[in-house]
Structure 1
Amino acid sequence: MCAAEAPPRVAMLGGTFDPVHVGHLRSAIELREALALDRVHMVPARVPPHRATPGVDAEQRATMLALGIADTPGLYVDDREIRREGPSYSTATLASLREELGTQARLVMALGYDAYLHLAEWHEPARLFELAHVVVVDRPDHQQPLPAALETLIEGREVASVDTLMQSPAGGLLHLSLPTRMAISATAIRARLQRGESVRYLLPDAVERYLLARRLYR
């Protein structure tokens, strides 16, 4: 297969983005570079199944995400979970993407290490690997023994390189360390806003203007 006919490489990066901050966006850019992705779909959850429902509605969170991404190449706001009723299960989102992209596309679900530890508790966890690869963005200072159910789920799936991962459309597991580590959390940003403190340089300027004008998180 020549380069012009190579299957697309696409990642799904889900979350509440409550609100989106520069750490989210920097990670998305570096994920795209590390995996040589054609695009990263940033998918705001309407009803996150594994955490409390966000205080800001999904449409506003998606608007802030769009403002944050702006014209960044390769990053896209994907609102399919907002348009879908019920819990925002990753299996449903990946199945929808797989149907659009075709059987040979290299589809990746990226998630952080904390979420990875609970992967075996997700809805239809084995099906995640039928639909996509799983890429774990590691935190070097945060490693711990894996739960037994997770060990069973990932048995025989881990690969050591991007090249090996991308030899097949789905089914692999790769641990990835990104070059820029930002100790920024949406929880801390919300707390600062509630206290009336500055969030300058933690958020894209357009996102900061949007949420301050609407007094979100106050």
Structure 2
Amino acid sequence: MLGGTFDPVHHGHLRTAVELRDVLGLDGVHMIPAAQPPLRGRPQVSAQERLALLRLGIGDTPGLLADPCELEREGPSYSALTLASLRQRYGEKARIVMALGHDAFLKLAQWHRPEQLFDLAHVVVIDRPDHIGALPAALEELIAGREVNDCQALMEEAQGRLLRLSLPSRMAISATFVRERLAQGESVRYLLPEPVVQRIESRGLYRNPAIFGAE
């Protein structure tokens, strides 16, 4: 599971999903747009539009799936509920992984029912070399005794462990940067897949320069 607002999806998101699948040996990666992200600003375009852009971005990439499960559920897009639905879908023995970036990881103890996340899945943190330092005390308590050092140890169980992972080619693209360029009428070529660019341009999306929002 790789969640986010995908506002809009860009090559950084997609390359991360591909590398997660390869490095962890996953059967597939569910890319799940948040309908109502609890800890982020309101996305600039609708959830259905972001899902459509995500599907265009994925195209026929093997192993990647645009999953609308959070759009089909009312209320805030809590990851614990999403993981519960995935656990029900795939069964108790399936190895389920929730991947998130380092910035989101630092706030993990503030999430809805954070302990339940580990009851349902493993957590994989995509490390950032420029983010080194002490973790918040509540986060340290939450992850105590859960961290493992490699993918093999992670996959020995179906859930409950934490792995910090450095991916081969982390692309320094942010959705905020993309939105700013779109709002200013500047080129986003090679930041986004071409079908995504075409839909954004044809529908005039992200043209309000006053709204940049969160990632």
Band of TM-score, shorter chain: over 0.9
Match of 1:178 in 2: 167
**Runs of 4+ deviating beyond 4 Å:** none
The one of 10, 19, 31 equivalent to 1:42 is 31
What per-residue deviation string (whole Å, max 9, x for no partner) do you get for residues 118-141 of structure 1? 000000000000000000000011
The equivalent of 1:162 in structure 2 is 151
| Alignment pair present for 1:84 and 2:73 | yes
1:215 and 2:204 matched: yes
Q: Which runs of 5+ in 1 are unaligned?
A: 1-11
**Of residues 3, 20, 39 in structure 2, which corresponds to 1:31?**
20
Tell me the matched-pair count: 207
Q: CA deviation at 1:182?
A: 1.0
SS at match of 2:2: strand
Give RMSD over aligned pairs: 0.4
What residue in structure 2 maps to residue 198 of structure 1?
Answer: 187
Q: What amino acid maps onto 1:207 in structure 2?
A: V
Q: Which residue of 1 aligns with 2:104?
A: 115
Secondary structure of the 2:93 match is coil
In the alignment, which of 47, 53, 62 is matched to residue 58 of structure 1? 47
SS in 2 for 1:106: coil
SS in 2 for 1:190: helix
After TM superposition, the score normalised by the length of structure 2 is 0.96
What percent of counterpart residues are identical?
Answer: 63
Q: Identify unmatched segments of 5+ residues in structure 2.
A: 208-215
**What is the distance in 2 between the residues matched to 1:212 and 1:203?**
12
